[in-house]
């Protein structure tokens, strides 16, 4: 047999050659390599070992300079790691067999040699060398037993530097290598701190992912890991649900608040993959940890207060429909409902109601109308007898039952009557909470098909309730000036127009009486008590009116009962000195205005007044009401007689300017957006205001405003040709304003640079985007396809050229030039305009008005491209005429 050391120069390269091709033969090759190593060591002792090590190193070095994407390197690295693992295992077996503790074996010496070699490359100039070295260390670390302390310290030091490498992939490999050193000793804490910092701050998603997947879970690290559920990168977010939370196992280790947040983030993520991972976590993982018992799962979610439990259970039903067959609701359950079982019944019913494949389950699982009416009755009585602690849960149960009731079939007259009687009684009870009141009115609406009947029923309840005010007045206090008889609900017949005449409400008298007679405490007591009762009753009446008004659409003029409630309850409330009553009155008046354009015309100025005089909440209410009124009645309510278009625009611009009230700004923004989209408002200044607001730094933390505009603006521009032209008209002026804001930016303020704003403006005015949207809309009609707004970018170019010669900041000029290069201008454009644009560009170049090199070059390029278009048009007159 030949000398193994002499042959090493041919045997090892052969093994490496095979190993680079496929990993399938690695196991066999690892064995061969080990035999050679053994042979060398046996025959020539340390000298033989060294020869083997050097030859191994020589071959291994070859893969270090290879590019990131070469699978050859990956295979050789895997092979080397497999070899390290194999020889260590051999050593361990040998040690066991020999019962000896050999600190210094061939294996140990090889491992030390190999790692020392790798350490040399950690700070190499070539990025591929650093990458391969870090990758090798990470791989070898994964299967490494104990190593020498000096080596460990050297590795630690080297890797700590590499997690700050310039190259993303090097950092990612260094992270996985470093993560393997965790928990060795006290230096583990240092490693953990560095990894946690990278997890939050590394600019690369790949590096953050490497930490997310390799950092050991502990009480300290878990919050950091879970925070990645909102990482900028969708894959990282997905891994939180599919890996981190899966490894965590039992979700009870999380607080209820955390469970709620994670579900909300995951199920409502914008990325479908993240949603899927979150759905799986809930429908497979969490239900499993609750012993496949949905009620047990609900108990851990706080269904009464949860905002996401409903979405979660709907996803669950959708992904695991087989579960639904097994869910039963027997008499015992209906008689002993808990928040959880009531919630399950309601969501089960809703899912079946909306999904045909399971709709047959309703009949089998849900009670009939009459039964349900009795069940509701039972829990309503329970509600009356429950203490403060129980009340919230019973209220929740009743609400779920009412939601079931609103989907029922009421063709059975007996059941319908029973339900009706119970609901009317429920609505009459004075202590019914607001959300239950709203639900009750909704169900009454469902079971009362005719709107006039529905109105009458609700109004009767209100009238009965309202009468109790009079009984307070008469029975308890006679020293206060009596309420005029015509203030009572029944006798009020004032029509909608008389509400502008000032009237003194009884509440005003009360307020005066207080101030005048402070020396008579007994009167104050009864007076105050009465006042409080009266406010409570009024608030309740107004709330029921509100629920009623939200559910009807018929005209006010044809409904005399409704008119009387307007003059007897709503109008006096609007004038009340009690702020809550007044504000609720305004809300109801707003709802009435939606039903009647005359009433709306008369009251628009009143709401404008509220906006100017009121606090933030009232300002928002005014914006809502005014926007809705104009949305519903459009130009019927605008004009000389009430609010002019200009006044309306000014109103919005004023509201949008309230920097200290971001919520007011955001609501004004949505209100204006709606009216602009429905083409009620067509105003350049308003659009420009919105653009500036969208970009300027003062709104950078106003997320509702920013997100509304980022949805609205492209829709606005790309849907209607006229809108896009309006955007073109204001683009350059908006850019000018924004450039100035940009040049005066404070240090902590952030804003898009003008060049990027310009790119956005070009996109909004791109005629191709408009055309594509229009094309889809015309798909089913036979109108001929033609390019819309064909000259729009040409017009934008003209505006930009005009502005270039004006005095502006350098950033603005560059932005203007960047616009020129991105425009969609073709030979379909108007040739006269093209010529004009060309002449102007040529003139600017000639006069040397532009000195900035970048700007000058852009201008020259633009000039050439327009000249070419003009040549094409001149060469083909037929095409030009088209």
Partner 1 sequence: NSSSAEPRKRKEKEVFQIDFMDADNLDEDSLFSQGGATIYLPKTQWKSTTRNLLPDDIHFSSKQLLSLFIKPNYIQMAQIEMANMLIWTKSFG
Range in contact with partner 1 (rule: CB under 8 A) among 332-340, 371-379, 623-631, 787-795:
623-631
Within 796-815, the residues that bind partner 1 by CB under 8 A are: none
Within 817-876, the residues that bind partner 1 by CB under 8 A are: none
For position 314 contacting partner 1 by CB under 8 A, the verdict is: no
| Per-residue contact flags (x/-) with partner 1 for residues 727 to 766, judged by CB under 8 A | ----------------------------------------
- Shortest Cβ 123–partner 1 spacing (Å): 5
For position 453 contacting partner 1 by CB under 8 A, the verdict is: no
Within 496-515, the residues that bind partner 1 by CB under 8 A are: none
- 3-class DSSP assignment, residue 638: strand
Residue closer to partner 1, measured from CB, 190 or 321: 190
Single residue of 86, 769, 793, 813 touching partner 1 by CB under 8 A: 769
Report the C-alpha gap between 878 and 294 in whole angstroms: 73
Within 12-31, the residues that bind partner 1 by CB under 8 A are: 12-14, 16-17, 20-21
- Shortest Cβ 115–partner 1 spacing (Å): 14
For position 130 contacting partner 1 by CB under 8 A, the verdict is: yes
Single residue of 262, 427, 547, 625 touching partner 1 by CB under 8 A: 625
Beta-carbon contacts of 736 under 8 Å, excluding residues fewer than 6 positions away, are 803, 808, 812
For position 200 contacting partner 1 by CB under 8 A, the verdict is: yes
Single residue of 82, 457, 693, 708 touching partner 1 by CB under 8 A: 708
Of 295, 355, 366, 362, the residue nearest 319 (C-alpha): 355
- Asked if residues 79 and 26 have their Cβ atoms less than 8 Å apart, the reply is yes
Of 778, 779, 771, 776, the residue nearest 826 (C-alpha): 771
Single residue of 715, 821, 854, 872 touching partner 1 by CB under 8 A: 715
What are the phi and psi torsion angles at 397 (to 5°)?
Answer: -60, -45
Beta-carbon contacts of 96 under 8 Å, excluding residues fewer than 6 positions away, are none
For position 165 contacting partner 1 by CB under 8 A, the verdict is: yes
For position 360 contacting partner 1 by CB under 8 A, the verdict is: no
For position 9 contacting partner 1 by CB under 8 A, the verdict is: yes
- Shortest Cβ 632–partner 1 spacing (Å): 7
Range in contact with partner 1 (rule: CB under 8 A) among 58-66, 490-498, 611-619, 736-744:
58-66
Of 642, 636, 542, 639, the residue nearest 590 (C-alpha): 542
Of 372, 573, 370, the residue nearest 466 (C-alpha): 573
For position 62 contacting partner 1 by CB under 8 A, the verdict is: yes
CA 425 to chain centre: 41
Q: Which two tokens stand for residue 616?
A: 């933030």
Within 211-240, the residues that bind partner 1 by CB under 8 A are: 227, 230-233
Q: Which 8-state DSSP code applies to residue 281? A: I
Single residue of 26, 86, 171, 813 touching partner 1 by CB under 8 A: 171
- Shortest Cβ 204–partner 1 spacing (Å): 9
- Shortest Cβ 190–partner 1 spacing (Å): 16
Report the C-alpha gap between 365 and 247 in whole angstroms: 37
- Shortest Cβ 375–partner 1 spacing (Å): 26
β-strand partners of 643: 638
Report the C-alpha gap between 172 and 203 in whole angstroms: 12
CA dist 18 to 40, 110, 640, 707, Å? 21, 22, 90, 57
For position 721 contacting partner 1 by CB under 8 A, the verdict is: no
Q: What angle do CA 114, 116, 119 make, to 5 degrees?
A: 110
Number of residues that bind partner 1 (CB under 8 A): 87
Within 64-123, the residues that bind partner 1 by CB under 8 A are: 64-66, 70, 72, 120-121, 123
What are the phi and psi torsion angles at 512 (to 5°)?
Answer: -65, -45
For position 673 contacting partner 1 by CB under 8 A, the verdict is: yes
CA dist 340 to 262, 295, 310, 313, 591, Å? 20, 6, 11, 12, 36
- Shortest Cβ 200–partner 1 spacing (Å): 4
Q: Tokens 């990993």 correspond to what residue?
A: 23
Within 239-268, the residues that bind partner 1 by CB under 8 A are: 268
- Shortest Cβ 709–partner 1 spacing (Å): 9
Q: Tokens 């046996």 correspond to what residue?
A: 42
């Amino acid at each position: 047999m030949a000398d193994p050391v002499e042959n090493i120069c041919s045997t090892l390269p052969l093994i490496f050659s095979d190993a680079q091709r496929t990993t399938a033969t690695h196991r066999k090759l690892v064995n061969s390599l080990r035999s050679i190593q053994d042979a060398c060591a046996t025959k020539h002792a340390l000298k033989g070992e060294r020869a083997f090590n050097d030859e191994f190193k020589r071959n291994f070095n070859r893969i270090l300079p290879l590019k990131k994407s070469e699978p050859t390197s990956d295979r050789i690295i895997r092979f080397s790691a497999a070899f390290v693992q194999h020889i260590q295992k051999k050593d361990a077996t040998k040690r066991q067999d020999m019962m000896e503790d050999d600190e210094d074996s061939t294996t140990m010496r090889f491992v030390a040699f190999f790692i020392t070699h790798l350490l040399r490359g950690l700070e190499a100039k070539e990025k591929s060398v650093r990458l391969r070295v870090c990758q090798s260390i990470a791989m070898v670390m994964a299967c490494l037993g104990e190593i020498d302390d000096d080596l460990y310290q050297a590795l630690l030091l080297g890797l700590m530097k590499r997690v700050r490498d310039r190259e993303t992939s090097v950092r990612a490999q260094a992270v996985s290598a470093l993560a393997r050193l965790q928990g060795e000793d006290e230096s583990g804490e240092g490693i953990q701190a560095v990894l946690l910092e990278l997890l939050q701050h590394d600019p690369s998603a790949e590096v953050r992912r490497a930490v997310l997947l390799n950092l050991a879970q502990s009480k300290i690290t878990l919050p950091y890991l879970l925070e990645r559920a909102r990482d900028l990168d969708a894959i990282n977010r997905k891994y939180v649900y599919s890996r981190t939370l899966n490894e965590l196992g039992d979700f009870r280790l999380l607080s209820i608040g955390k469970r709620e947040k994670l579900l909300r983030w995951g199920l409502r993520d914008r990325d479908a993959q993240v949603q899927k991972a979150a759905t799986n976590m809930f429908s497979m993982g969490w239900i499993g940890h609750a012993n496949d018992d949905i009620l047990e799962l609900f108990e851990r979610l706080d269904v009464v207060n949860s905002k996401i439990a409903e979405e979660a259970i709907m996803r669950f039903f959708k992904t695991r429909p087989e579960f639904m067959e097994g869910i039963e609701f027997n008499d015992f359950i209906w008689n002993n409902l808990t928040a959880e079982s009531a919630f399950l019944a309601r969501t089960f019913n809703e899912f079946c109601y909306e999904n045909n494949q399971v709709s047959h389950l309703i009949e089998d699982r849900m009670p009939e109308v009459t039964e349900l009416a009795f069940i509701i009755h039972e829990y309503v009585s329970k509600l009356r007898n429950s203490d403060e602690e129980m009340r919230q849960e019973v209220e929740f149960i009743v609400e779920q039952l009412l939601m079931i009731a609103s989907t029922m079939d009421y063709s059975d007259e007996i059941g319908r009557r029973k339900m009706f009687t119970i609901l009317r009684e429920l609505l009459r009870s004075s202590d019914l909470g607001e959300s239950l009141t709203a639900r009750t009115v909704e169900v009454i609406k469902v079971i009362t098909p005719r709107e006039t009947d529905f109105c009458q029923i609700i109004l009767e309840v209100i009238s009965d309730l309202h009468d109790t005010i009079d009984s307070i007045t008469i029975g308890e206090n006679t020293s206060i000036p009596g309420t005029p008889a015509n203030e009572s609900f029944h006798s009020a017949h004032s029509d909608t127009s008389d509400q502008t005449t000032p009237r003194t409400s009884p509440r005003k008298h009360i307020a005066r009486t207080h101030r005048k007679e402070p020396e008579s405490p007994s009167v104050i007591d009864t007076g105050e008590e009465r006042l409080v009762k009266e406010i409570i009753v009024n608030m309740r009446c107004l709330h029921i009116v509100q629920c009623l008004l939200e559910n009807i659409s018929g005209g006010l003029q044809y409904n005399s009962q409704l008119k009387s409630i307007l003059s007897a309850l709503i109008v006096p409330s609007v004038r009340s000195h009690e702020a809550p009553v007044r504000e609720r009155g305004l809300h109801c008046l707003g709802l009435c205005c939606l039903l009647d354009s005359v009433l709306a015309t008369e009251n628009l100025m009143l709401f404008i007044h509220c906006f100017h005089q009121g606090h933030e909440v009232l300002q928002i209410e005014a914006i809502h009401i005014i926007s809705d009124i104009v949305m519903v009645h459009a130009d019927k309510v605008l004009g000389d007689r009430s609010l002019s278009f200009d006044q309306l625009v000014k109103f919005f611009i004023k509201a949008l300017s309230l920097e200290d009230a971001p919520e007011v700004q955001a609501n004004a923004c949505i209100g204006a957006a709606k009216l602009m989209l429905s083409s009620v408002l067509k105003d350049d200044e308003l659009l420009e205001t919105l653009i500036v607001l969208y970009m300027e730094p003062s709104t950078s933390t106003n997320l509702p405003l920013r997100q509304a505009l980022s949805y609205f603006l492209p829709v606005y521009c790309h849907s209607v040709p006229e809108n896009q032209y309006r955007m073109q008209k204001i683009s350059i002026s908006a850019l000018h304003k924004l450039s100035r804001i940009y040049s005066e930016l404070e240090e902590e303020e952030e804003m898009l640079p003008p060049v990027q704003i310009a790119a956005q403006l070009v996109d909004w005015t791109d005629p191709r985007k408009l055309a594509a949207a229009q094309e889809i809309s015309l798909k089913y009609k036979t109108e001929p396809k033609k390019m819309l707004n064909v000259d729009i970018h040409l017009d934008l170019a003209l505006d930009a050229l005009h502005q270039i010669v004006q005095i502006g900041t350098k950033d603005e000029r560059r932005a203007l030039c960047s616009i020129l290069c991105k425009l969609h201008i073709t030979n379909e454009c108007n040739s006269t305009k093209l010529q004009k644009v060309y002449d102007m560009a040529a003139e600017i170049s000639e006069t040397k008005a532009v000195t900035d090199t970048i700007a000058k070059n852009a201008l020259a390029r633009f000039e050439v491209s327009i000249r070419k278009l003009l040549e094409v048009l001149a060469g083909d007159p037929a095409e030009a005429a088209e």
